[in-house]
Amino acid sequence: MTAALPRDESAGTHPDAVLEVTGLDVHYGLRRRRRRALHGLSLSVAPGETVGVIGETGSGKSTFARTVLGLVRASAGRIVIGGEDVSAYGPRQWRGLRRRGVVQYVFQDPLRSLDPDLTIEESLVEPLLVQGVERAEAAGRARTFLARVRLSEELLDRLPGELSGGQRQRVAVARALVTEPRLVILDEPVSALDSANRVQVLQILKELRAHGVALVFISHDLGSVAGIADRIAVLYQGELVEVGAARDVITHPRHDYTRLLVSSAPTLRSASADRAERDALRALLHA
Ligand SMILES: Nc1ncnc2c1ncn2[C@@H]1O[C@H](COP(=O)(O)OP(=O)(O)OP(=O)(O)O)[C@@H](O)[C@H]1O
């Protein structure tokens, strides 16, 4: 197997990084049930950068997302968000960080990012009111962001349950961005959408990059991430095995697992191996 590249070579080198993760270990369970989900993960995200984190099911992607949102506790390592060392934060401090809109998130299921009892307008306005923005200004900003995700103002009075899945996910994206955070963690944001909605949401996310927000885009699907990420980080069995410019990772994957991912992505086949080579790689990885 190709030699692993277990860390982001740029980690620790961006004094102004919006996210700096160093040597992150995460375990689940206690005593004999204790299992390691992430090991020695180091990754740095620069302002305005989009980093795709890809890996197969169980590789630790959601664990990474949940840890940098303070929803899962790391057993070792350092997390710095927007210059603030949050490694030792307890649940209350993490809540404060999320409420201040320093880091925002979009999950696969928009119903997890949206309160089912709040109208779309309330959902968009609430994080701004928490920040002390006047109601009239908050309402104006809610409309601006609704337009940015290409939804009509007619939806403002509806509840999330009264929208389609694609509309809901676009509201979740608008809600994550309305406070103009410097960092948004997107965990499989398009996986639950049909292909038309997937294309639209990906296009919207691409456009949002122009507004300077840094995105960590987590997906099992290299094809979804390929067109949007500046850099791609590959997780395999809880370890980062490759990090590089998206184009380099896709055209010159260095790790066997990345090679397999590239060759298995239907939209990237032209840059990839044929079926026999994929089978050979799979056999090598599972040997
Ligand atoms: N709450 C939990 N308790 C115990 N083990 C967990 C828990 N959550 C995840 N795990 C385990 O940690 C490992 C990583 O899981 P994680 O959900 O981070 O993977 P993933 O890459 O996001 O997978 P998927 O693409 O299926 O969502 C897996 O082995 C999983 O079984």
C-alpha distance from residue 129 to each of 3, 120, 132 (Å): 50, 15, 5
Ligand 1 pocket mutation, candidates 30, 59, 220, 235, criterion most atoms within 8 A of CB: 59
Residues of the chain with pLDDT > 70, as a percent, come to 87
pLDDT for res 30: 86
Q: Is the CB of 194 under 6 A from ligand 1?
A: no
pLDDT for res 97: 87
CA-closest residue to ligand 1 atom 25: 57
- Look at 29 and 209; give whichever has higher pLDDT: 29
Mean pLDDT of 36-51: 95
Residue 70 has pLDDT above 60, yes or no: yes
pLDDT for res 209: 81
Q: How far is Cα 234 from Cα 265, in angstroms, rounded to an integer?
A: 14
CA-218 nearest atom, ligand 1: 22
Residue 3 has pLDDT above 60, yes or no: no
Ligand 1 center from residue 212 Cα (angstroms)? 31
**Residue 284, class by beta-carbon neighbours within 10 Å (0-12 exposed, 13-18 middle, 19+ buried)?**
middle
Ligand 1 pocket mutation, candidates 34, 56, 61, 239, criterion most atoms within 8 A of CB: 61
pLDDT for res 208: 80
CA-closest residue to ligand 1 atom 7: 28
Q: How far is Cα 154 from Cα 143, in angstroms, rounded to an integer?
A: 10
Ligand 1 center from residue 58 Cα (angstroms)? 5
Residue 278 has pLDDT above 80, yes or no: no
pLDDT for res 197: 83
CA-63 nearest atom, ligand 1: 18
Instruction: Please give the ipTM for the structure prediction.
Output: 0.95
Q: Is the CB of 38 under 6 A from ligand 1?
A: no
Query: What are 176-223's pLDDT values in tens digits?
Result: 999 988 899 999 988 888 888 888 888 888 888 878 899 999 998 888
pLDDT for res 22: 96
Mean pLDDT of 99-107: 87
Residues of the chain with pLDDT > 90, as a percent, come to 54
Sole residue written with tokens 């676009």: 170
- Look at 212 and 35; give whichever has higher pLDDT: 35
CA-238 nearest atom, ligand 1: 14
Q: Is the CB of 62 under 6 A from ligand 1?
A: yes
Q: Which residues of 172-183 are buried (b: 16+ CB within 10 A; e: fewer)?
A: bbbbbbbbebbb
Ligand 1 center from residue 218 Cα (angstroms)? 14
* β-sheet bridge partners, residue 61: none
Q: How far is Cα 189 from Cα 221, in angstroms, rounded to an integer?
A: 11
Per-chain mean pLDDT for the chain: 87
**Between the CA atoms of 47, 175, 128 and 102, what dihedral angle is there, to the nearest 10 degrees?**
-30
Residue 4 has pLDDT above 80, yes or no: no
Q: Is the CB of 58 under 6 A from ligand 1?
A: yes
102 pLDDT band, cuts 50/70/90, is confident
Q: Is the CB of 57 under 6 A from ligand 1?
A: yes
Ligand 1 center from residue 142 Cα (angstroms)? 34
Lowest mean pLDDT among 11-25, 40-54, 228-242: 11-25
Ligand 1 center from residue 188 Cα (angstroms)? 14
CA-closest residue to ligand 1 atom 1: 28
Lowest mean pLDDT among 95-104, 117-126, 272-281: 272-281
